[in-house]
Amino acid sequence: NRNAKGRKKSAPKRGMTNWLYLVGGDAVVLVIGLAVILTRQSGPAVTSPTGSSQVSFPGWLTALNRLGGFTGNQVREAYAYAETAQDNMRYIPCYCGCGDAAHGYHRSSFNCFVKSKSEDGVPLFEQHGSQCEMCVDIALTTKKMLADGKSLKQVRAAVDQKYSALG
């Protein structure tokens, strides 16, 4: 076996070539897997409580079926309300104890559901609200009382009365 110049052809180093294909193939699978995981962070869009916009929930929230006495839909309703009615929720305190360092020093009930918003207004949801019945109850109580015509001051007084002794 000689090439055109009359030199002996060298045999390919199959062990090294196979190893490169194996490592390269694993890297491609890893990159594709990460891409799939990262793109699945957003769940289906849900209409906001005001009906004016769509709220897209992360996968961990769309997968939630129950939180104590609340259904998954009620928990998502609390998230959608907190996200779209942030001025109301920022006025309502939380009494569950989430104002500590472990929870990022939540300053209001709004922070139990939304960590922050991007420059274009897309919310980064806080997982705490999906794990706390008190937070969900406060959000849904706020929504219902305001819908029933109560003032924000009346809602705050009711929440204070119900929960201030607990937290």
pLDDT of residue 45: 45
Chain-wide mean pLDDT for the chain? 76
The per-residue pLDDT for 107 is 76
Give the residues of the chain that fall short of pLDDT 70: 1-54, 99-106, 167
Q: What pTM does this model have? A: 0.66
Name residue, tokens 């029933």. Answer: 148
pLDDT for 150 equals: 97
Tell me what pLDDT residue 75 has: 96
Supply the pLDDT for residue 91.
Answer: 93
CB count within 10 Å of CB 92 equals: 22
Write out the chain in H/E/C secondary structure.
CECCCCCECCCCCHHHHHHHHHHHHHHHHHHHHHHHHHHCCEEEEEECCCCCCEEEEEHHHHCCCEECCEEHHHHHHHHHHHHHCHHHHHHCCCCCCCCCHHHCCCCCHHHHCEEEECCCCCEEECHHHHHCHHHHHHHHHHHHHHHCCCCHHHHHHHHHHHHCCCC
Q: Which residues of 10-32 are buried (b: 16+ CB within 10 A; e: fewer)?
A: eeeeeeeeeeeeeeeeeeeeeee
Q: What is the pLDDT of residue 49?
A: 43
The per-residue pLDDT for 102 is 60
pLDDT value of residue 51:
45
* Residues 6+ away with beta carbon under 8 Å from 115: 104, 123, 124, 125, 126
